[in-house]
A and B are shown apart, each in its own frame.
Chain A
């Protein structure tokens, strides 16, 4: 039951983009077309789940036993950066079609604060292993959901007449605000 609560709240209530404001750059940058938004979401979900596993192992097997807590920031960022590289090489070797779909989005993920935020939040909340993995996977799905909805709205916006100063990022931010308002409705779903 606890796990279900973590999963649902990571997707809907404490959505990474709309509640924690993590991963705003890809959310605004790669949300012009539903196809590319879907690929980005998939890539983020994939990397987030792996990051949750790896950062948990580093935190609980290396940092905490040796009282190296203050190295958390440095070690997480290094591991995430190299992990993304590794995942990219691995996918290219194992599954060329998947690489075709995710390829250009993977390097972008290194600088995505959502990944680093996930590792930090999971460490901050002292999640156990299974909880951390569920949290990572759910957060990835939440990101995917938000970016796909956003892309759907922006495809429609192309047809609308937007006043000159509101074009581009401005209207995207205001739409995101309204979307966040809608997601606010989920608060209270889980106590």
Chain B
């Protein structure tokens, strides 16, 4: 059982245990769909949906799952909610679903989700698991937003499709291509590590 207060349980997902910047989990979607803010946001929200509902279900039935087959059970639960998210996007937001392509079904192998079930929901109450899932999702959405905002503004001069840079601005095409994803994430990680070192040495 975790001894943190509910508030701490939520906040830890944003920075101390941020899934992308601190734990380096779920990097595939983070790199792949952050070429435009709208895609990054949609991916973040779809992952949020799957994480919250998987955590709810896993923490409610944790006593019924035999520990030998727990990973397989988690995967089936996660895959069910991923299917729901995938169908929902395809039905109501076809253009976004088309942009994200195979990356929505691939949420099923996102290590953030399986990791939270194994490390948290299987050991904690439903209420705590919900807060933990909310915090982790918020951290993930935050990471997606930062990365996609940097890439879209520098790579296309737009934010959510609106022009934000003046006519003088020459878009850096490289930022919306695959190499830009790797390099931007690398620089952001370096920044996160640097802040970590600073706050540690001050304590």
A interface residue numbers (CB < 8 A to B): 18-25, 28, 70-74, 77-78, 81, 111-113, 116-117, 120-121, 124, 164-166, 169-174, 176-178, 180-181, 184
Residues of chain B at the chain A interface (Cβ within 8 Å):
24, 27-29, 31-32, 72, 75-76, 79-80, 82-83, 86-87, 101-102, 105-106, 108-111, 114, 174, 177-183, 185-187, 189-191, 193-194, 197
- Point out the residue from B28, B82, B174 that lies within 8 Å of A24, measured CB to CB: B28
Q: Which residue of A lies closest to B189 (CB)?
A: A170
Which of B27, B109, B190 contacts A116, CB < 8 Å?
B109
Residue numbers in A under 8 Å from B75 (CB-CB) = 77-78, 81
CB closest chain-A residue, reference B32: A21
B182: which A residues are within 8 A, CB to CB? 173-174, 176-177, 180
Find chain B residues with CB under 8 A from A176 CB: 182, 186
Contact partner, A70, options B24, B87, B106, Cβ 8 Å = B87
Contacts of A111 on B, CB cut-off 8 Å? 109, 111, 114
A180 touching B76 by the CB < 8 A rule?
Answer: no
Docked Cα-Cα span, A166 to B197, in Å, equals: 12
Q: CA separation between A19 and B80, bound complex, in Å?
A: 28
Q: Which 9 A-B pairs have the closest CB atoms?
A: A177-B182, A173-B186, A177-B183, A174-B186, A180-B179, A181-B179, A21-B32, A21-B31, A120-B102
Report yes or no: A78 in contact with B179, Cβ–Cβ below 8 A. Answer: no
Contact of A184 among B24, B177, B189 (CB under 8 A): B177
Between A and B, 8 residue pairs with Cβ closer than 8 Å are A21-B178, A74-B79, A78-B75, A113-B109, A117-B106, A165-B193, A169-B24, A174-B183
Taking a contact as CB atoms under 8 Å apart, the answer to whether B111 and A73 are in contact is no
Q: Choose among B101, B102, B114, B190 the residue with the greatest number of A CB atoms under 10 Å from its CB.
A: B102
Tell me what chain A mostly uses at the interface: helix, strand, loop, or mixed.
helix
Contacts of A112 in B (CB 8 A): 109
* Interchain Cβ contacts within 8 Å, total number: 109
In the assembled complex, the CB of B78 is this many whole angstroms from the nearest CB of chain A, namely 8
Q: A72-B105, A77-B108 are in contact. List 16 more A-B contacts (CB 8 A).
A: A21-B28, A22-B32, A70-B87, A71-B83, A73-B82, A73-B83, A74-B80, A78-B76, A78-B79, A113-B28, A121-B102, A165-B191, A166-B190, A172-B186, A174-B182, A180-B178
How far is the CB of B89 from the nearest CB of chain A, in Å?
13
- Does A73 contact B179, Cβ atoms closer than 8 Å? no
State how many angstroms separate the Cβ of B195 from the closest Cβ of chain A: 9
**A178 to chain B: which residues have CB within 8 Å?**
179, 183
Q: What residues on B are CB-neighbors of A25 within 8 Å?
A: 27-28, 111
The reply to whether A24 and B79 contact each other, CB–CB distance below 8 Å, is: no
In the bound assembly, the distance between CA atoms of A172 and B27 in angstroms comes to 13
A181 CA to B181 CA, complexed, in Å: 11
Given A74-B79, A81-B75, the answer on whether A24 and B105 have CB atoms closer than 8 Å is no
Question: Are A120 and B106 also in contact (CB < 8 A) when A70-B83, A173-B186, A177-B180 are?
Answer: yes
> Do A73 and B27 touch (CB < 8 A)?
no
Residues of chain B lying within 8 A (CB to CB) of residue A77: 75, 79, 108-109
Point out the residues of chain A lying under 8 angstroms from B105, CB to CB: 72-73, 116, 120
Residue of A nearest to B183 (CB): A177
Contact status of A181 and B83, CB under 8 A, knowing A120-B102, A170-B193, A173-B186: no
Residue in chain A with minimal CB distance to B81: A73
A12 to B178, CA, bound (A): 14
> Which of chain B's residues has its CB closest to A114's CB?
B28
The interface residues of chain A lying within 8 Å CB-to-CB of B80 are 74
